[in-house]
Amino acid sequence: MNIPLLVGTLVVIVILALAVKIVRQYERAVIFRLGKLLGEKGPGIFVIIPLIDRLVKMDLRIKELDVPSQTVVSKDNVSFDVDAVVYYKVTDACKAVVEVEDYEAATSLLAQTTLRDVLGQNELDTILSARDELNKKVQEILDTTTNPWGMQVVMVTMRDVALPENMLRAIARQAEAEREKRARIILAEGEFQASQRMSEAAALYEKTPVALKLREFQTLTEIAKEKNLIVVSTGAGAVASGEIGATAGLTKAFTEK
């Protein structure tokens, strides 16, 4: 048994195992040679110099970052809690390793500060009704700031805005008052339209007394259907050559059921 050959073979195998590296499709390997940035490699198989080259793997997939709940004071001095989710990815593995010590922690702190600053510049009604615009604004600020770090902020979403109990009651009262206001406006509008129609009808009846008398007869017919009323109808005028004569007296509208 040739021991030197066996030892040499084992050494070669160990060196190859340390030299040959494989990274997945969604990964990149940042190589440092004697402390100096050499570049990035991957995906696939590549070779490094053992004990001289140092390798740092970076994941290029989109990641989610849970922003802890933040207490925010809005422009109209309303205090509330809000939490959000930031979706980001590494676009330049070398910058993500060299330019910032811990890009995840840095992005988290930056997201917390930016969220408080942006929301604090708006009133509560705007924050509740314009979430999409505010999310986009926070995303643009984060993306601009983290771009030199080799990162891209894909999306920012506010998950929940937690209001104090007294503010929830105030908003409920406001919504109820708004609905009551709309109901009264609709009722007043209906009364106004009805009065307009009645004024127009009165003007037409004034011009055509026969139409008024016909309307009276129609009303009497409708009332007579109740079979339990006595109708008193008074009128003046005469009908000749197509006109309806005056009707005066008592008309008994009882009929047997």
Question: In this predicted model, what pLDDT tens digit does every residue of 91-149 receive, in sequence order?
Answer: 999 999 999 989 999 999 999 999 999 999 998 888 888 899 999 999 999 999 999 99
| The predicted structure's pLDDT at residue 247 | 37
- Under-70 pLDDT residues of the chain: 1, 168, 225-257
Query: What are the distances in angstroms from CA 132 to CA 147, 158, 202?
Result: 22, 9, 55
Report field, pTM of the whole predicted structure over 0.85: no
Q: How far apart are CA 59 and CA 48, in angstroms?
A: 19
Residue type, 207: K
| The predicted structure's pLDDT at residue 251 | 37
Contacts of 12-16 with C-beta under 8 Å, sequence gap 24+, read: 15/50
Q: How far apart are CA 248 and CA 171, in angstroms?
A: 62
Contact criterion met (CB below 8 Å) for 137 and 117: no
Contact criterion met (CB below 8 Å) for 86 and 158: no
Q: How far apart are CA 239 and CA 211, in angstroms?
A: 12
Strand, helix or coil for residue 30:
strand
Torsion, CA 87, CA 91, CA 92, CA 98, rounded to 10 = 0
- With a CB cutoff of 8 Å and minimum separation 6, the contacts of 25 are 43
Query: What are the distances in angstroms from CA 150 to CA 90, 107, 108, 129, 164?
Result: 6, 12, 15, 33, 39
| The predicted structure's pLDDT at residue 37 | 92
Contact criterion met (CB below 8 Å) for 57 and 24: no
